[in-house]
Amino acid sequence: MFIAIDAGNTNIVFSVMDEETVCFASQLRTDRHKTSDEYAVFFRELLHIHSISTGDVEGGIISTVVPSLKKKLYDAVLAITGRKCRVVGPGLKNGLKIRIDNPAQLGSDRVAEGVAAINLYPAPIVIFDMGTASTFSVINRDGNYIGGMIMPGTLISLDALTERTSQLPQIDLTEHPEHLIGTNTVDCMRSGIIFGTAAMLDGIIDRIAEELGERPSVIATGSLSEAIIPYCRQKIILDKYLLLKGLRIIYLKNRR
């Protein structure tokens, strides 16, 4: 078994996997101010909760879009297991051909997702990652990562809506809209966010397909994908463990 960590801007996913399965995947809030020792305490407790001995952990791999956390997470895993982690980035074999202006600028999360996608789904491929930011990755029929898009995430848009208006309340998206046309303020906001995002995804898929000249496989992942994708009209595959699957593939490629 090995540890796989996906550190995003809002949440950190701490998981233990083997070659076939995700043993568990737990979320904790990203906190740039925590020390490596504090993270080590969290990680050790999660292993204990899931009845996994640190002695059974052979290594680890980290993907982070928060540079200040890289060393802290690395040191935390080292402290509780005595094992060094691999960190997704230059020098680590992944099998993904990145054809953008500056491949070094591609986030490790998008690299891991691209690696998983080319190994699991037919190309061309579009990946929607709906987290703090919404990222769109495009892989052509030859399996090359050719680019994508970045835009404010759904929750960022919702926060901006409530912070910059005087009478719109804070809402959550745990309740799904029953109708497109809302009949009160909260329903109107919820409908606008969910149906509006879904319609945007549908439109983006059509435009990408037009530019590629063929219909791509479309994969959605990220914390909000399960709330939005059911309202899309396009065929979209939900794969909430896509990034972790990519980390597994990269880890195994570099195991020796």
Residue whose pair of structure tokens reads 């090995």 in the numeric block:
2
Instruction: Write down the pLDDT at residue 110.
Output: 95
Tell me the whole-structure pTM to 2 decimals. Answer: 0.91
In the chain (256 residues long), the average pLDDT of successive 10-residue segments reads 94 94 93 95 96 94 95 96 92 92 93 97 96 93 96 89 87 84 92 94 97 97 90 95 96 88
Active-site annotation, residues: 109
pLDDT at 162: 87
The whole-number pLDDT of residue 170 equals 87
Taken in order 213, 95, 244, 79, is the CA torsion positive or negative? negative
Residue type for position 171: I
Q: Please give the CATH number for the structural domain made up of 2-87.
A: 3.30.420.40
- d(CA 240, CA 226) in angstroms, rounded, equals 8
Residues 8 and 131 sit within 8 Å (Cβ to Cβ): yes
Please say whether the beta carbons of 244 and 15 come within 8 A: yes
Residue boundaries of the structural domains of the chain: 2-87, 97-246
Q: CB of 190 within 8 A of CB of 171?
A: yes
Q: Which residue has the tokens 């149906």?
A: 195
Burial class (CB within 10 angstroms; exposed 0-12, middle 13-18, buried 19+) of 233: exposed
Looking at residue 85, what is its pLDDT?
A: 93
Chain-centroid distance of CA 237 in Å reads: 14
* CA-CA-CA-CA dihedral for 24, 11, 153, 206, to nearest 10: -20
CB 143 within 8 A of CB 104: no
Closest among 95, 148, 109, 144 to 123, alpha carbons compared = 144
Beta bridge pairs of residue 129: 135, 221
Fold match flag (2-87 vs 97-246): yes
Q: What pLDDT is recorded for position 121?
A: 97
Q: What is the pLDDT of residue 146?
A: 97
Q: Which CATH class is domain 97-246?
A: alpha beta
pLDDT of residue 35: 96
